[in-house]
Amino acid sequence: MCRTPWLLLLLPPTAAPAQFGDFMYRLLNGDSTRGPGYDTAYVTSYRDDLCISLVTAYQGSSIDIDRTDGATLTYSTNTPMQYGASIDYKWLGVEATFTVPGLSQLDPDLGATEARGLGFGFTGRRWWFRNFILASEGFYPEEPRQVDPDWQEGRPYPFRPDLENLTYMAGIHRGFNGRKFSYTAARTQTERQKRSAGSWTAGATFWFSRTRGSSGLLPVFDLANYSTAANVRSVRRWLFCLTGGYAHTFALWHHGFVHLMVVPGLGAQQQALQLADREERSTG
């Protein structure tokens, strides 16, 4: 008699995670008890097979600072091609990329930027979510004389190894033709689009970037040409966008495909400067 209440109290914590997981899976993929949830004449699924792919990626970063004379001081990364791998199983995908010495070629006159990225995402029947984080260290000015008036053509560009950038990107989209169109087939090899199909989409994207240095971003000899505070050391930017569009995959002779996706959006952005004394200024 006394054990029953304790048994009832112990059961929910172990059952709740499984129930919540089942609920989320049905919400994102549909009810699997009602069949495969897609038209087998259009889509073939290999989601139960582990898919490992080699990945190459190129993602650069830059920061623009307006001058009072109408010009712009631009710092950019000398980002080489990155190499890595992605793992996809069922609805989850993970991807990692790195700069590989000997394979990642770059222009030595622009300095050596180190970059690495990590991403993961969910690709369901109706919902598609993906986010990615990229870290880079080392920037060069695209106009060298803006930071070094004595620079001459043919010499290596001035390089800021102390400048580092962290960028986070995320996007979630809802597809409205999950039975015949497979976004997974366009991204990975865990599904195949057997016949051409498309889908209208709606969603949102978010982007955050932070660039900072151990010293000021502005050249000390030329502070008169900048309205920005002389001791600014960090720039942060946010962007949020609502999107909507159309995606279509053209199946080619059952062995290949061409995927097109047009997704315009409407968004808002915000930028903040952090000074050496930790004061922050929003620039809109």
Decide: 270 and 236 in contact? Cβ < 8 Å.
no
Alpha-carbon gap, residue 170 to 188, rounded angstroms: 18
Residue owning tokens 């009810």: 31
How many angstroms separate the most distant Cα atoms in the chain? 90
CA nearest to 197, candidates 51, 41, 93: 41
CB within 8 A of 181, min separation 6: which ones? 42, 43, 175, 193, 197, 198, 199, 247, 248, 249
Alpha-carbon gap, residue 54 to 44, rounded angstroms: 22
Decide: 231 and 213 in contact? Cβ < 8 Å.
no
3-class DSSP state for residue 86? strand
At 82 the pLDDT is 85
Residue 201, token pair as written in the block: 């989409």
* Beta strand extents in the chain (DSSP E only): 43-45, 51-57, 62-66, 72-77, 82-89, 92-98, 114-123, 127-141, 160-175, 191-193, 197-212, 232-252, 256-262, 265-275, 280-282
At 11 the pLDDT is 43
At 181 the pLDDT is 92
Strand partners, 43: 193
Q: What are phi and psi of 181, to 5 degrees?
A: -110, 135
Alpha-carbon gap, residue 59 to 224, rounded angstroms: 33
Q: What are phi and psi of 159, to 5 degrees?
A: -130, 140
At 94 the pLDDT is 92
Q: What are phi and psi of 185, to 5 degrees?
A: -65, -30
Alpha-carbon gap, residue 253 to 27, rounded angstroms: 34
Model pTM above 0.85:
no
Which letter does DSSP use for residue 151 in this model?
-
Residue-level pLDDT, tens digit, the chain, 284 residues? 334 334 334 445 555 555 655 655 565 555 555 567 788 889 888 888 888 888 888 878 888 888 888 889 999 998 878 889 999 888 889 999 888 877 777 788 898 888 889 999 988 888 999 999 999 999 999 999 999 999 999 899 999 999 999 999 999 999 999 899 998 888 887 888 999 999 999 999 999 999 998 888 888 888 888 887 777 888 899 999 999 999 999 998 877 889 999 999 999 999 888 887 665 556 55
